Structure 1
Amino acid sequence: MTETRASSPTREDQRAAFLARAGFAEAQLVALPADASTRRYFRLSGEGLLLMDSSPHSEPIGPFVQVARHLHGLGLSAPAMLQVDEEAGLALIEDFGHDTYTRLLAAGHPETALYRLAIDALVALHRAPPTAEMAPYDARQLSDECALFIDWYVPLLIGKEAALDLRESFLTLFAEACSDVAQRREALVLRDFHVDNLMLLEGREGVAACGLLDFQDALIGAAAYDLMSLLEDARRDVPEALRVALLTHYLMQRPELDAPRFLEDYRRLAAQRHAKVLGIFVRLAGRDGKHGYLAHLPRTLGLFVRALEAEAFATLRAWLNGHVPGWRDELPPATLAALRETPYRLVQGLPHGHVQH
């Protein structure tokens, strides 16, 4: 007799079994659009719930649970969790609805009110002592993220071999400029605090009206990071007058801060983040086929160039001028067209990095 071996359950089977255990075996699932991560979300029609599917091998769900509980304890609005299976990487979480800041702003909602609410939520987060359980946003983490620029963006300008030859020098110069801010352990840094991950929640008062998403990669670091991420958004232009007014709004609520040092942290982290995001957007397009992010490259490049005008980056600026000609210029149409190839031939073989953001 031939012995037959049962096949392993598919991911769809695992989702169905999880929903059955939670009492939602008959729920109809509607897949939500994918973002830059490997996570997937499904709306349970009519239930006010989302199914979060996050592979335990690539993006474990445990950090999401941990950070959500911390935020709840501060009176902030992270999605409530109905049921969690960390081993399977599945969770039933509260559905905040459709009113992301991105949608509201596109529909003409007053931007100042939305941004001020988000900043008030940050103030509440930053006034609380950060949980000691989170890892630090330290020099190594900052460097790993900066590497995305030299590994993915710079090869478009000078070729992958030349970029690899310059990698160590680039990272050394960036590390020197960010050495001080890398020591900060001031606040829980959510790391993707921008309009795509913020929601307006009707019926909630104060900072609880600001719904927070995509915080599972939080670390302990400089308080300036999330504020900078909001005000220097790679996906949306923030008028300069509004940016300055919102910076002032934050600082006025935190008189205990050393404001000049905070602003210096802001500038250095801006350069670091924009370098990282330039690399990520190229990687998403060239490696993962997510070409929509290419539309944001010009804005991100402009923010990066502006950030590097800070005195702290004078040496790095001179180095880029000497070794990466055209680094200030937008990518030519032919390069953008090549990035839409699958797979993109120029970046094959480059390090993929360890950062998903």
Structure 2
Amino acid sequence: MDITKRPRRLRSDGVRPLISETALSPADLIAPVFVDATADERVPIESMPGHERVPVDGIVERVQEVRETGVEAVMLFGIPAEKDEQGTQAWVDDGVVQRALRRISEETDAYAIADLCFCEYTTHGHCGVVEEDAKEDPRQTVDNDATLELIERTALSQARAGADMIAPSGMMDGMVGTIRDALDREGFTEVPIMSYAVKYESAFYGPFRDAADGAPAFGDRRHYQMDPANRQEAVREARLDIEQGADVLMVKPALPYLDIVRDVRETTDLPVAAYNVSGEYAMLHAASEKGWLDLEEVARESLLSIKRAGADLILTYFAESIASECSAGRRT
């Protein structure tokens, strides 16, 4: 047989790195950080090995640890000392994220992104103001327009505290436009918005809800987060956020929705982010602990797949370990 086309010629060790189409670098990664107003010391998160809740007094040390790996950006998630029906601790000046942001801004050069949602701050665990009788009627959950007012307050509070970027994640209609109008009105025209533009109701969020005490006390989030069966809806959501002034578009989760990452990539020339969520992280750790998978290899391959699908930025709990590989000289 005459074989004239031999793709294996380009798979030898010498040439393989030269023609590699996709690479990861620390600059691609954002590290999630949990800051806990109830903690005096670091508290390990059992379902997310290697991650901890850190007290406000320890936030600078934690961020510096991240930056030592080469990752420059962190996303802050807060666990407040108190919760109420509206989640008022999300926007108060001395809130847990606000205090952390001030310290990060004053004492580090990290790029600090503030997650904006209410599930960690409300007694009911939903992402905004719940409608009357929501506990009795599962068809009612979050009052979209009433929540927009709270989103505006929180975004301004985070910007005043030093947030470099605001990342609304509640999937409320009009949230991006509300934040953009408020930021511009108050002089924060240079603060960008990374919208969780396409956020699915997903079973992969479980460990995060343990970590942030953000599980709903009743019902679920299917009335404001997207149906996993829907693809075209994702493009509509992304386009709406583009029209309202989003600077970066996030897809969440990442691995089960790589087709959506690609669709959003092809829809816009804005940067696209993808959230490699807690369940994706936990399942690889669990398989590794069983001896079924090599954690380092599957983590690297997972993040490469997200980047290859079209993500410019990846929010991932593997950020530090992958960045350390890069710093050690391993091509990823």
Q: What TM-score comes out, normalization by structure 2 length?
A: 0.29
Larger proportion of strand? 2
Larger proportion of helix? 1
